[in-house]
Amino acid sequence: MLNVHVFESGFTFLLADLRFQCSKWGNPADPVQILDFFQSIVEMESGRDLFDKMKHRFLSFKSHKYIANSEHYQALSKGQAPKFMVIACADSRVCPSNILGFEPGEAFTVRNVANLVPTFESGPSETNAALEFAVNSLEVRNILIVGHSCCGGIRALMSMQDDADSSFIRSWVIVGKKAKLSTKATASNLDFDRQCTHCEKESINNSLLNLLTYPWIEERLKKGLLSLHGGYYDFVDCTFEKWTLDYKGSITDGNNRVIVKDRSFWC
Amino acid sequence: MAKQSAEVVVQGLKKILISEEQELDEEVQAKVEMLIAELQGKKHGSHLHCKDPDARKLDHGFHFFKTNIFDAHPEFFRELAEGQHPKFLVVACSDSRVSPSVVLNFKPGEAFESRNIANMVPQFDRIRHTEIGAVIEYAIKSLQVDNILIMGHSRCGGIERLMKLPDHTQTFDFIDEWVKIGLPAKKKVLQEAGNLPFEEQLTLCEKESVRNSMGNLLTYPFVRDAVVNGTLTLRGGYYDFVNGSFEQWKMCPKPCH
């Protein structure tokens, strides 16, 4: 039998009891009940933890970067003024700090499944709260959406059947539905893997168009204070493709598609 | 033989580019330049950005990564391209100063990362919170991570906004709605430390909000099941970039005596 140690309130539970409670609660359980049951379940540990590897890495960061550039970090601690907002996938292989070399202070970053941006009309969400902060408070100059190869979220979108069971992933990736539809319309002759690659890029453009649905984004675009970019990282070949939304071109096009400029390919 | 045929094609493509008879549109021109660069095995694009320092920054950053990291470990990246098996899901703030890859030195493949304002995890809500729900669901059901780390930090703008609400001078439609997830943390701080200066309340709330989010994780049935089964550990962390420190804690099942 196992106990869960409760640090602050000082009493313990039998884990068997916890299992019983979980089965009573059903799915989903009443959060107030759960939080009452656990109260404060955290235990402070400093240095004695199995998390030693992480501690060593932090100390390595501290000595090689933080202390080595202490003036810069002191200035940063007073406030951030990043030029970029980056929206990237949560995938462990595509951290923008790694692949694009962003240093602390350079990129305000959102990471979610499949680097999707919902529309303004879809209501408050995690990503658009971050957008609001980045654009209206930090006044970033660039928003860069970074997609990537072998994206599990896009694959889930492309594999989705209409009558499938609901899940969080399904409810979320549906934000990219238009990209799936245009992929099926233009690339259905390709095998499934290549369709997914096509959709990974289509989805970036779909999200760029979704950015235009935010009035305060459009306003800054019109004034030339903000640029929107798409990027695609292929980690099989290690290449990076980057393009910029041609705002005026896209608006006047009339076909609700992304017109791009300044396309480049790094290999 | 292959090299010769590549050169022939490159010459042909270059002729098209400089031809005065045919004018290529920008997209086609970029593709032709891309192909020339590939055939020549050269870097491409850097010359385009001499007037765009932000684009140059991305270009240099990617080339540094490719040259010093990717190309230096081809076998590692080949394997990683086949699939990811991170042990961690990290929920961190979008703040540009607190990338977990930098602060905790996560290598590619080690941490599935969600980043949002004030590193919050809301309670299970299939309608309102599909975004973070999808991250947690994927991390646990597909990737089967061993740990979820919620990492808070000093001088968090999102927590400051939470502590200043309600603000009758200015409203943010999306930010204000999001940071309300942390209201239980704010309530606790005001109850227990309402007499302390605002700056100290902020620090307390930054840490309390991490604990609040750890509790919210348990409202997700798949998280609860994994914790109960002993296959998942929930961890909290706090990065103080003013003093250069990091503290961590966890939910701790222990053997009983």
The residue among A49 and B243 whose pLDDT is bigger is B243
Q: Which two tokens stand for residue B161?
A: 């906004």
Q: Between chains, do A60 and B105 touch, taking CB under 8 Å as contact?
A: yes
Per-residue model confidence as pLDDT tens digits over A233-243: 999 999 999 99
pLDDT value of position B184: 96
Q: Which residues of B touch A19 (CB under 8 A)?
A: 228
CB atoms within 10 A of CB B64: 13
pLDDT value of position B139: 97
Q: Name the percent of chain A in helix, strand, coil, to the closest 5.
A: 50, 20, 30
pLDDT value of position B11: 75
A residues 42..101 contacting B (CB < 8 A)? 42-46, 49, 51, 54-55, 57-58, 60-62, 65-67, 73, 76-77, 80, 82-84, 90-101
Distance from CA of A16 to the nearest CA of B (A): 9
Domains of chain A, by residue range, sit at 15-65, 80-266
Q: Which residues of B touch A49 (CB under 8 A)?
A: 248, 250
pLDDT at A211 over 80: yes
> Average pLDDT in the A161-168 region?
79
pLDDT value of position B38: 62
Instruction: Please tell me the CATH code under which domain A80-266 is placed.
Output: 3.40.1050.10
Q: Between chains, do A231 and B58 touch, taking CB under 8 Å as contact?
A: yes
φ, ψ for residue B247, nearest 5 deg: -120, 155
Of A13-17, A99-103, B19-23, B157-161, the least confident: A13-17
**What pLDDT band is residue B257 in, cutting at 50, 70 and 90?**
very low
What is the Cα gyration radius of chain A?
Answer: 23
Note the pTM of the prediction, 2 decimals. 0.80
Q: Are A173 and A114 in contact (CB under 8 A)?
A: yes
Per-residue model confidence as pLDDT tens digits over A28-70: 444 444 444 443 333 333 334 446 777 888 888 888 888 888 8
| Residue A20 at interface with chain B, using a CB cutoff of 8 Å | no
Q: Between chains, do A124 and B174 touch, taking CB under 8 Å as contact?
A: yes
Could you give the ipTM of this predicted complex?
0.76
* CA distances from residue B14 to A213, B20, B33, B222 in whole angstroms, order as listed: 40, 12, 9, 57
Does an H or E element contain A2, and which? strand A2-5
Task: Provide the mean pLDDT of chain B.
Answer: 86
> Average pLDDT in the B152-159 region?
96
pLDDT at A8 over 80: no
Of A56-70, B62-76, B178-192, the least confident: A56-70
Q: Between chains, do A130 and B116 touch, taking CB under 8 Å as contact?
A: yes
CB atoms within 10 A of CB B22: 9
Distance of CA A156 to the CA centre of its chain: 16
Of A42-56, A67-81, A203-217, B129-143, the least confident: A42-56
**Residue B153: strand pairing partners:** B239
Q: Which residues of B touch A261 (CB under 8 A)?
A: 26
pLDDT value of position B19: 63
**What pLDDT band is residue B49 in, cutting at 50, 70 and 90?**
low
Give the mutation candidate from A44, A57, A66, A95 for the B interface (greatest B CB count, under 10 A): A95
Q: Which of A18, A51, A128 sits opposite B228 (nearest CB)?
A: A18
pLDDT value of position B12: 80
| Residue A2 at interface with chain B, using a CB cutoff of 8 Å | yes
Q: Which of A28, A46, A105 sits opposite B97 (nearest CB)?
A: A105
Residue type, B103: V
- Residue of chain A minimizing CA distance to B254: A3
B residues 144..203 contacting A (CB < 8 A)? 154-155, 157-158, 172-175, 177-179, 184
Which residue, among B137, B123, B130, has the nearest Cα to B89 in the 3D structure?
B137
* CA distances from residue A8 to A39, A44, A230 in whole angstroms, order as listed: 8, 10, 48
Query: Strand A2-5 vs strand A42-45: parallel, antiparallel, or unpaired?
Result: unpaired
